[in-house]
Structure 1
Amino acid sequence: MDVPREAARIEKELRAQADPVRSESERRYLKSDFAHIGVPMGPLRKIAVSALRTKPGRADLLALAEALWTTTESGRPVHETRMAAIEILVRRVALLEPDDLAFAERLVRDSASWVYVDHLAEKVVGGLVLRDPESAAVLDRWVGDPDFWIRRTAMLALLAGVRAGAPDLARISAYGDALIGEREFFIRKALGWVLRELTKKGHADWVRDWVAARTGTISGVAIREAVRHLPPADAERLLAAYKAR
């Protein structure tokens, strides 16, 4: 693959779909300082994955993701090319190796927004960890990282196992305990999100018991998400205990 040429083609095709009204609306919604072209996710995804028709190997995949991620306009990162970089990594996560968690970590640290972090966390980092469980040891380091986006990634990476029917309950519990006192909204939300999805996958009793033991410390954001799909009686009892603490 001619990586610079392919990255330029993707950017050109994205710009051909430019919608200035959408661009401004999206920039305001995301509170973004990046350059926005204004391309909906459907066309963006189609343009991005067209690069995969040539069946690139791991090296070309990473190089293309890097080229798209670092594309700039007037010195500012371009939102759509960053999303395209994530899309190609998600679609070919099977090509990635455990060592590529370092690459994913760099992208997360350079993200500063949930719109990039959440896809990288669950689909890229989570996909790698699900395939190679030993690499989850990296998440044990990340959950205590000073960067809250890295901490959020550690938690949300566990969603891949939850959705696949193979939840890492030990890590969910340990990370939950490590993060339960956080004041950062995005951390509280991540904990509640994982607990909510765990309930949907048939672990309602586990979630009920875990939350019941922590109604004195769990945040309102997290508990409201956690009980969303519990049986009504359980949800009401947990919320009452939380409010009465």
Structure 2
Amino acid sequence: MGTIRFQHLQKTFEEKENPQQAKKMAAYMKHHFDFYGIQTPERRLIYKSLIAEDKKAKIMDWQLLDLAWNSPKRELHYFVCDYLKAMQSRLNYDHVPQLLTYASTNQWWDSIDHFDRILGKIADARIPQLMLDLSVSDDMWMRRIAIDHQLGEKEKTNTQLLETIILNNLGSKEFFINKAIGWSLRDYSKVNPDWVTAFITKNQKLLAPLSIREASKYL
């Protein structure tokens, strides 16, 4: 089933291909990926009914997702991310290995910033330890997932976990790590500015200027 559905999805994307826009999108993503040149609103309309169909049937078409993720076209990777987010309530810890397989390939900030929430929202007591493990990974993008996996949690944020993960990544020279640290602190500052202010003050010598600048936006 997944193969036929993928072929149909791929054909629809090809019919709507915009070479000129594809060049612009590829350039924006530093030429890491090939694009069809389809903008987000139109792209999501293409597979809106497909996702709705699977949600209603309470199924997950992993074969379709695998085929889409292994495509060289970035819009098909975005489809996988949108599909997984739509099916968030059906994801459990047994799916973590497959999700990490996706997150460890075709890596760039745009897909990673989907997987941090997808993994972070899985309701399982083992997720915090998983994130601690990822926070010391040799893979920078896995560490970014760990740092930002609690974005949007507001009062539910586990501050001890947030602090430990950030401390595990202080001193990094990686732009995407320091940006993520700043974002995670900035997001939590919306509900607990005192905690974030105290954290910045305590760790000011180790935090990158970029992290402090991002974290202080709402303080």
Match of 1:70 in 2: 70
How many Å separate the matches in 1 of 2:164 and 2:58? Answer: 33
Contact 1:58 1:96 in 2 (8 A): no
The farther-off stretch of 145-154 and 98-107 is 98-107
Question: Are 2:171 and 1:172 equivalent residues in the alignment?
Answer: no
Structure with greater Cα Rg? 1
How many Å separate the matches in 2 of 1:212 and 1:140? Answer: 23
Pair 182,96 (structure 1): closer, same or farther in 2 beyond 3 Å: same
Question: Are 2:204 and 1:205 equivalent residues in the alignment?
Answer: no
Structure 2 runs not aligned, ≥5 long = none
| Aligned with 1:214 (options 197, 203, 209) | 203
Match of 1:228 in 2: 217
What pairs with 1:25-40 in structure 2 (closer than 5 Å)?
25-40=24-39
- Following TM superposition, by how much is the alpha carbon of 1:17 offset from its aligned partner in structure 2, in angstroms? 2.1
The farther-off stretch of 43-52 and 216-225 is 43-52
How many Å separate the matches in 2 of 1:222 and 1:33? Answer: 25
* Aligned partner of residue 210 in structure 1, secondary structure: helix
Q: Deviations over 1:96-140 (max 9, x none)?
A: 111211111111110221011111112x11221xx2243221111
Question: Are 2:127 and 1:135 equivalent residues in the alignment?
Answer: yes
Match of 2:150 in 1: 158
Pair 58,136 (structure 1): closer, same or farther in 2 beyond 3 Å: farther
Contact 1:35 1:78 in 2 (8 A): yes
Contact 1:48 1:85 in 2 (8 A): no
- Following TM superposition, by how much is the alpha carbon of 1:16 offset from its aligned partner in structure 2, in angstroms? 2.2
Question: Are 2:128 and 1:144 equivalent residues in the alignment?
Answer: no
Match of 1:242 in 2: none
Match of 2:182 in 1: 192
How many Å separate the matches in 1 of 2:21 and 2:128? Answer: 38
What pairs with 1:98-137 in structure 2 (closer than 5 Å)?
98-122=93-117, 124-128=118-122, 131-137=123-129
Paired residue type of 1:151 = R
How many Å separate the matches in 1 of 2:67 and 2:45? Answer: 18
Count of paired positions: 218
Aligned-pair Cα RMSD in Å: 1.6
- Following TM superposition, by how much is the alpha carbon of 1:83 offset from its aligned partner in structure 2, in angstroms? 0.8
How many Å separate the matches in 2 of 1:85 and 1:127? Answer: 16
Contact 1:15 1:37 in 2 (8 A): yes
Percent pairwise identity: 22
Match of 1:79 in 2: 74
Paired residue type of 1:226 = A
Paired residue type of 2:206 = T
Q: Deviations over 1:40-90 (max 9, x none)?
A: 11111222332123226676332221121112xxxxx11111111111011
Paired residue type of 1:65 = L
| Aligned with 2:84 (options 85, 89, 108) | 89
Match of 1:238 in 2: none
Structure 1 runs not aligned, ≥5 long = 72-76, 231-245
Match of 1:236 in 2: none
Contact 1:143 1:152 in 2 (8 A): yes
Paired residue type of 1:86 = C
Contact 1:61 1:88 in 2 (8 A): no
